[in-house]
Amino acid sequence: MRIHFTGVKGSGMSSLAQIYKQKGHSITGSDVEESFFTDKLLYKAGIEVLPFHEKNVQQVDIVCASAAYGSNHVEIKAANERNIPVLTYPMMLGELTKEYESILITGTHGKTTTTGLIGSLLMNADMDPTIVVGSYIETLNNNARYGRGNYLVVEACEYKRHFLNYTGKVMVVTNIDFDHPDYFKDIRDTFDAFQECANRLPEDGLLVVCGDNLARNLRANCQMVTYGLSQENDVYAVKKGMGKFAVYAFGKYMGDMVTPLIGEHNIQNALAMVCLGLYYDIQFDILQETLSGYAGVKRRLELKGHLKHHLVYDDYAHHPTEIRVTLHAVKENYPNANVVSIFQPHTYSRTKRLLHEFAQSFQAADWVVLTDIFASEREKEKLVDILELVEETKKHHPRVTYIPKSEIIPWLEQMSEQMEDHIFLTMGAGDIYKEGEKILQKMLLSS
């Protein structure tokens, strides 16, 4: 089959394109000229990326279109005129889930890390899974993996109820929190979406939920297992110092695990993996090896490098809960360091709706730097100004500074000369990570 991917550089789209290519289909793709981390992955997979043009879809059987583009896009319009089926990314991925015993990894936070962990576990257990994930996984050296086994591990996004397109036997819910205010009305609407997805599980399926948050209230017509830090869960952990914890399952001590991942939220993510290991009867030593050897995910508490006597980290955190747990994790791991949080809010709608929550999420930081809001292409109206967030955050934190994005590099240079033993942590779902990379590259060239 000839499939064309419109917007192929997207993290999910590029992952799906690679899978269908390895399944034997003829794949083409198109996108903007701007460089993305997926460029190298697509080149390595032998997928040519063309400029957008109506001729790209003239000789294809299906067009898979990114959610970023609507019916007026030149390629989508041309496909519709030729009666060529146009499927969105969730629809196309939904078709793929029907071909496997699919494991859906969802939740407001932690999806990517948990998908990577569970995918790695099934690989180490010789189950040869296919994996579709929303970011670069170090263990995979990719954001996708095509396997010959019967298992598909999918990062399943809740936005616009996309995950209702997927057919899964197993569903993992890391947490339920209010996000995507441009779509969900409130936390009740958000919860209902997850419940709708859980209702679709078969009677012989499995629902795995983190019992430390609202996800514990989900119900399903199949087996249900809870995990978390609370001992009320079916599977829980007891911390035994930095990077080590004991695992208990259904009242039985399973053994100790060592994790290279920072933060209690990553212990919870690891416990989700343990639940899948128990379900598929995987030996505990394979679970231990999978976690201890897990190299992590791009832009998830990623150590970017050293800046003189300082460390530069980056994280995808773009929600108050994510900011709070990320800063807490860094402070716990580096108790004597001064943590400088450099946050770029993502979308006007999220910033406006969660303004007060954002303002109170930086308690663990020693210094809060806020920079210009990264707007979504969908947003036509500037709903809030960054200075509103600055003023609100000052009510809860003694050291808050606004720095325009264009001035972050010189500010970092100045601060690195004046201070010692600091951690500079860039956070946000936009392009703030590039500032950390730029300053490190600049220091390298000048040394």
Q: Where do the CATH 3.40.1190.10 domains begin and end in the chain? A: 98-292
**Binding-site residues for ATP:** 107-113
Cα-based angle 338, 340, 345 (whole degrees, multiple of 5): 155
**Binding-site residues:** 107-113
> What's the pTM?
0.84
CATH of 302-446 given 3.40.640.10, 3.90.190.20, 1.10.8.50, 3.40.50.300: 3.90.190.20
pLDDT digits (tens, 9 = 90+) for 292-311: 988 776 777 788 887 777 88
Tell me the fold of 2-88. Answer: Rossmann fold (3.40.50)
Range scoring the smallest mean pLDDT among 114-128, 225-239, 276-290, 340-354? 340-354
C-beta atoms surrounding 59 within 10 Å? 11
Question: Cβ contacts of residue 352 below 8 Å, gap of 6+?
Answer: 181, 383, 384
Q: Is 132 exposed, middle or buried (0-12, 13-18, 19+ CB in 10 A)?
A: buried
Q: Where do the CATH 3.90.190.20 domains begin and end in the chain? A: 302-446
The whole-number average pLDDT for the span 268-274 is: 97
* Res 335: pLDDT: 87
Q: What is the CATH number of domain 98-292?
A: 3.40.1190.10
* Res 233: pLDDT: 98
Q: Where do the CATH 3.40.50.720 domains begin and end in the chain? A: 2-88
For residue 446, what pLDDT band results from cuts at 50, 70 and 90?
A: low
Q: In what order do the strands lie in the sheet with 86-88?
A: 49-50, 26-30, 2-6, 62-65, 86-88
For residue 179, which of 359, 316, 320 has the smallest C-alpha distance?
A: 320
